Amino acid sequence: MDRAKNPFSPGAGTPPPELAGRATILDNALVALERVKNGRAEKSMILVGLRGVGKTVLLGEAQRLAEKAGYRVAFIEAHESRQKKTLAELLIPHLRRILFDLDRGEKISDKAKKALRVFKSFMSALKLKTGDLEFYLDMDAEKGEADSGDLEVDLAALFVAIGEAAKDRHTAVAIIIDELQYVEETEVSALIMAIHRVSQRSLPLILIGAGLPQLRAKAGNSKSYAERLFAYPEVGALNKQDAIAALQRPVQELSVSFSDEALNEIYDTTKGYPYFVQEWGYHAWNTAQQSPIGRNDITEASKLSIANLDKSFFRTRFDRLTPSEKKYVRALAELGSTPQRSGDIAAKLGKTVEQVAALRAQLISKGMIYSPAHGDTAFTVPLIEEFLMREIPVFSAKEQY
């Protein structure tokens, strides 16, 4: 098939040609956006799911819906350690843009001016140096607001001021945060308290987040608030019907089709995980000489897809692990593709649960594994156990990888 016309789009955050199986989540997001904008009580939304299920794509969609509904949007992405910025550092450039925007208008808005002053005091309290920022904020800070130095108090004051400014301008603000599991627990807590304050006052500010399942444990002390304030839609693999739609519709647009056997084969191999569906669709298209794309094409496409995933999707995650972490995940892979008891993994390594507890915690904070239930451990990356078996064919507790 003509490679230039290939409709599939494997890649982190790349919108698929057919966004299958997400109608309910998008509907709910749209309703939440409308309600919050109109000052009605509504939960903020945090999408939870494994890698490659389409969370980032959904956040992109949410951004589009929000902008269409007249929102000002801040879209940020948290990162794992090292090059890590604080939540405040990530938010500041976006909030500054939104605040300047709210300050513009025919009539002067006292609320918008005040929000800028609160923003200035927020920054001065955190002693943040973000380039030319001070220079542009040629006004007094709002003394006593958002300047305690305690993020939990200050972020709430800032969000309230922004919410009031947005309300005054008959608009709304959406704060969208991807990879929320990498945000520090104290910062997540502050975020929750800020949303709490905003929703108590029915202000038009919503948080839409996404992250790996470990982020559920991050609410910390604010847990009871978090449960009332947030809905946690789960984003998972596509069911068979949706996976078929994700493959068949884009090619039918181009007067091509997949045979039923080809579709069955792809579904069985990918288990309906969106990233893999795109990868297989992509290689199937390039492999096939003619329509319909058949079972034999999928055999070839599978080889290419696996080779490619091993080089990229799986490899990048694996390469970030230390030798002991590699050994831990290889032991987990040895036990199977379902969640495993942490005790069984430790036993495979010839260690006690206590001896590997720190290692396990590190792997959770790196976003490699999570705990689906107390004492259980599972991969956050679907099908990575198969990669690990290919990468390290024979497991030995003594070997260094």
- Tell me which residue of 267, 211, 222, 221 sits closest to 244, measured CA to CA: 267
Binding residue for ligand ADP (CB under 6 A) from 1, 6, 7, 19? 19
Q: Kindly state whether residue 213 participates in binding ligand ADP, applying the rule CB under 6 A.
A: no
- Residue nearest Mg ion (C-beta atom): 56
Q: Please identify, among the stretches 20-28, 51-59, 145-153, 327-335, the one whose residues bind Mg ion according to the rule CB under 5 A.
A: 51-59
The answer to whether 163 contacts ligand ADP (rule: CB under 6 A) is: no
Is 10 a binding residue for ligand ADP by CB under 6 A? The answer is yes
Q: Which is nearer to ligand ADP, 16 or 233 (CB)?
A: 16
Nearer to ligand ADP, 51 or 169 (CB): 51
Q: What's the CA gap between 247 and 240, in Å, rounded?
A: 11
- Residue whose CB is less far from ligand ADP, 9 or 296: 9
Please report the DSSP string for 40-59 in residue order: ----EEEEE--TTSSHHHHH
Given Mg ion, ligand ADP, none, residue 21, with its beta carbon under 5 to 8 Å by kind, binds ligand ADP
Q: Give the single-character DSSP code of 239.
A: P
Alpha carbon distances (Å) from 353 to 213, 347, 397 = 22, 8, 15
Task: Compute the CA torsion angle 49, 50, 53, 57 (nearest 10 deg).
Answer: 70
Is-contact 45 209, C-beta < 8 A? Answer: yes
Residue 181 interacts with Mg ion (CB under 5 A)? no
* 252 Cβ contact partners less than 8 Å away, ≥ 6 residues apart: none
Minimum CB–partner distance for residue 65 and ligand ADP (Å): 15
- Contact characters 260-299, ligand ADP, x per CB under 6 A: --------------xx-xx---------------------
Residue window 40-79: x/- pattern of binding to ligand ADP, with contact defined by CB under 6 A:
---------x-xxxxxxx----------------------
Rounded-to-integer distance, Cα 385 and Cα 314, Å: 10
- Among the listed residues 22, 326, 348, 366, the single contact to ligand ADP using CB under 6 A: 22
Using CA atoms, how far residue 300 sits from 11, 297, 303, in Å, is 20, 5, 5
Q: Which does 52 bind (CB under 5 to 8 A by kind): ligand ADP, Mg ion, none?
A: ligand ADP
Q: Where are the alpha helices (DSSP H) in 182-253?
A: 185-200, 223-229, 240-252
CB of 49 to ligand ADP, least distance (A): 6
Residues in the chain: 401
- The owner of tokens 């084969």 is 265
Name 166's bridge partners: none
**Binding residues for ligand ADP, total number by CB under 6 A:** 25
* Segment near Mg ion (CB under 5 A); pick from 52-60, 105-113, 254-262, 393-401: 52-60
Strand partners, 370: 378
Given the complex with ligand ADP, which of 15 and 39 has the nearer CB atom? 15
C-alpha to C-alpha distance for 197 and 223, rounded to whole angstroms: 15
Report, in Å, the least distance between residue 9 CB and ligand ADP.
5
Q: Which is nearer to ligand ADP, 51 or 348 (CB)?
A: 51
Taking CB under 5 A as the criterion, the residue among 44, 56, 199, 380 binding Mg ion is 56
Select the binding partner of residue 11 from ligand ADP, Mg ion, none (C-beta < 5 to 8 A, by kind).
ligand ADP
For 65, 161, 210, 214, 242, the CA distances from 58, given in Å and listed in that order, are 10, 28, 9, 19, 16
Residues that bind Mg ion (CB under 5 A): 55-56
Residues that bind ligand ADP (CB under 6 A): 9-16, 19-22, 49, 51-57, 246, 274-275, 277-278
